[in-house]
């Protein structure tokens, strides 16, 4: 920062205070008392605090005293912590917008609420940084809302796909069979507009690398008579199914997440399944059915994220991303051949587009869903920091931080002398039967019926408390006992998929607003919270029972 004049003063209480460019950061009378009163007005229970301004740490100290579990992010360009703080306190002194957004996204996910607290005069002293913080928070919350809407809108479909994919998984192979099987270079093809110009090179050098297609990208490849080695799918929508209809693949193998649209599997001869890390709690459940270990991959919100994860999983060789625009390159949404390709009229569109740094350093148009994907790619690259040889060869679209950039031609030339090695040691021999799955599903139906009875009892107790205006100790004991039963039951089933949006809403939108909440307001809030929870569970159980019942009938007729 330029033109910053810092003065250290002694307040009337004897405590040190600071002045920057003639603006006081703390009281010149009693900094500690001022900080206590300031935090009492600002503090919100169960919310992450983003504190802009550290100074001598008086305000931070008060937030730590008045809260007991919330994370605190402290942003200050002149940050010098004067003592050791609890693990829930995180310091940020780089203040460009991209770095701030990356750090805030790392600590604030879609299940959490956050709020910005500005230490006195910090917005006046560091106005440009203040704007960067506001933009970073806005982008983070917008992206989190996209994720939340996806969970809320897709949970029933994800559950239906997961359950129906079980009948495929017991016949297919676990992705673990492909773990580090080769050192060949891998090309991950995504459906951005820049893919079109790379396809000729893909055809010319097809035998020199493993080709992985990200979901709907398969149509752009098939249009040019290019068949990939693997096609990856995570999308559970009906639209995803249409991308694979009548595609005419001969040898490509299918790699699918359990929430992928289950009918897509029928378009392939051979397939491998995996779980996403967000479904880690289903690992033991799935392994109990398939009787083999399940691969759990760290990915993100798009199939392209998982395609990259799979590339690093199956090969020790170098990796190239092509078609990973994450922007409307040349005003197009997708590559040629993709069913969703459209031409964008930026001047007359009702959608808000954002200008960002492009692959070549130029400005490109993108949007919030693409920005969400960009952030995930950058987080993944940071997590793979020890994995060398991951290149962005898209030659268009948005700039991806952390990725080495070379042309696709350079990547091919760089890897054309690789001597391929293949390891076949991962083959697993397991006996899989529909009978095991059928028995498991019939047991689940019984467990869900028991869970339904428990939830209905809880709703009765909540409504009784609502009418009386108080929770009796006896009812609280029964509610706690019933909740433990529900937790055990859901743990033994796949119900966490379908209850995820309910749990998210209960956690996020019914938190205590302040420590001085009136007893009546607290009671009303807790009643609404519990009604939302158990009414949601009733609907979730009914949906699950219908889906599982249909699957049982299908298996019984096989």
Contact 31, 17 (CB under 8 A): yes
Q: In what order do the strands lie in the sheet with 16-20?
A: 6-10, 16-20, 23-24
Residue 335's nearest CA partner among 469, 442, 224, 236 is 224
Q: How far apart are CA 260 and CA 264, in angstroms?
A: 8
* Cα-based distances in Å from 519 to 334, 515, 525: 55, 11, 10
pLDDT reported for residue 520: 85
Per-residue tens of pLDDT for the chain, all 558 residues: 457 888 889 999 999 998 888 898 898 999 999 999 999 999 998 899 999 999 899 999 999 998 878 999 999 988 778 888 999 999 998 898 888 988 998 899 888 899 999 999 999 999 999 999 999 999 899 888 888 888 888 899 999 999 999 999 999 999 999 999 999 999 999 999 999 999 999 999 999 999 999 998 999 999 999 999 999 999 988 888 888 887 888 899 999 999 999 999 999 999 999 999 888 889 999 999 998 999 999 888 899 999 999 999 999 999 999 999 999 988 887 777 776 677 877 766 667 788 899 999 999 999 888 988 998 999 899 999 889 899 999 999 999 999 999 999 999 999 988 887 776 555 555 556 788 899 999 999 999 999 999 999 999 999 999 999 998 899 899 999 999 999 988 888 999 999 999 999 898 888 776 666 788 888 999 999 999 999 999 999 999 999 999 999 999 887
The closest of 51, 213, 264 to 137, measured between CA atoms, is 51
Q: Which of 398, 409, 392, 385 is nearest to 321 (CA)?
A: 392
In the block, which residue shows the tokens 């009812």? 475
Looking at domain 6-145, its CATH class is alpha beta
Question: How far is 491 from 118, CA to CA, in rounded Å?
Answer: 42
The dihedral sign for the CA sequence 314, 308, 269, 257: positive
């Amino acid at each position: 920062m330029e033109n910053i004049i810092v003065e250290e003063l002694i307040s009337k209480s004897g405590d040190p205070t600071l002045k920057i460019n003639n603006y006081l950061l703390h009281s010149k009378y009693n900094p500690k008392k001022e900080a206590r009163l300031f935090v009492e007005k600002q503090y919100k229970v169960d919310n992450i605090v983003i504190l802009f301004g550290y100074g001598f740490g008086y305000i931070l100290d008060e937030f730590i005293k008045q809260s007991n579990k919330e994370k605190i992010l402290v942003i200050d360009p002149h940050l010098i912590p004067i003592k050791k703080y609890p693990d829930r306190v995180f310091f940020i002194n780089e203040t460009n917008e991209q770095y701030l957004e990356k750090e805030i996204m790392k600590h604030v996910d879609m299940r959490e609420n956050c709020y910005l607290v500005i230490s006195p005069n910090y917005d006046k002293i560091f106005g440009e940084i203040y704007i960067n913080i506001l933009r970073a928070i806005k982008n983070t919350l917008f992206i989190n809302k996209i994720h939340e809407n996806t969970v809320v809108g897709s949970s029933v479909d994800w559950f239906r796909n997961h359950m129906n994919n079980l009948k495929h998984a017991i016949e297919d192979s676990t992705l673990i069979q492909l773990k580090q099987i080769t050192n060949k270079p891998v090309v991950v093809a995504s459906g951005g507009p820049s893919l079109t110009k790379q396809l000729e090179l893909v055809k010319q050098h097809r035998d020199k690398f493993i080709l992985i297609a990200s979901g709907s990208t398969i149509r752009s490849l098939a249009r040019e008579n290019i068949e990939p080695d693997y096609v990856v799918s995570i999308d559970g929508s009906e639209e995803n199914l249409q991308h694979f209809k009548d595609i005419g693949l001969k040898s490509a193998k299918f790699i699918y997440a359990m929430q992928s649209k289950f009918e897509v599997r029928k378009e392939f001869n051979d397939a491998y399944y995996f779980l996403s890390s967000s479904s880690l709690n289903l690992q033991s459940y799935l392994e109990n059915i398939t009787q083999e270990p399940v691969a759990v991959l760290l990915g993100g919100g798009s199939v392209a994220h998982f395609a990259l994860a799979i590339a690093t999983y199956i090969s020790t060789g170098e990796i190239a991303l092509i078609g990973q625009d994450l922007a409307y390159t040349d005003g197009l949404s997708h590559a040629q051949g993709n069913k969703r390709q459209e031409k964008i009229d930026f001047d007359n569109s009702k959608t808000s587009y954002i200008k960002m740094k492009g692959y070549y350093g130029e400005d490109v148009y993108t949007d919030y869903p693409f920005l969400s994907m960009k952030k995930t790619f950058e987080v993944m690259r940071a997590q793979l920091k020890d994995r060398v040889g991951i290149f962005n060869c898209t030659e268009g679209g948005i700039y991806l931080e952390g990725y080495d950039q070379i042309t696709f031609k350079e990547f091919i030339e760089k890897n054309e002398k690789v001597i391929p090695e293949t390891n076949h040691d991962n083959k697993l021999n397991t006996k899989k039967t529909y009978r095991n799955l059928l028995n498991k599903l019939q047991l689940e139906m019984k467990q869900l019926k028991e869970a339904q009875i428990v939830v209905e009892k809880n709703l009765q107790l909540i409504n009784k408390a609502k009418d009386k205006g108080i929770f009796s100790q006896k009812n609280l004991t029964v509610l706690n006992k019933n909740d433990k039963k529900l937790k055990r039951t859901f743990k033994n089933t796949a119900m966490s998929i379908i209850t995820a949006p309910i749990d998210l809403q209960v956690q996020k939108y019914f938190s205590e607003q302040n420590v001085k909440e009136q007893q009546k307001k607290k009671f009303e809030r807790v009643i609404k919270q519990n009604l939302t929870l158990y009414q949601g569970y009733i609907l979730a159980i009914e949906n699950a029972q219908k889906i599982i019942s249909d699957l049982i009938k299908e298996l019984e007729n096989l």
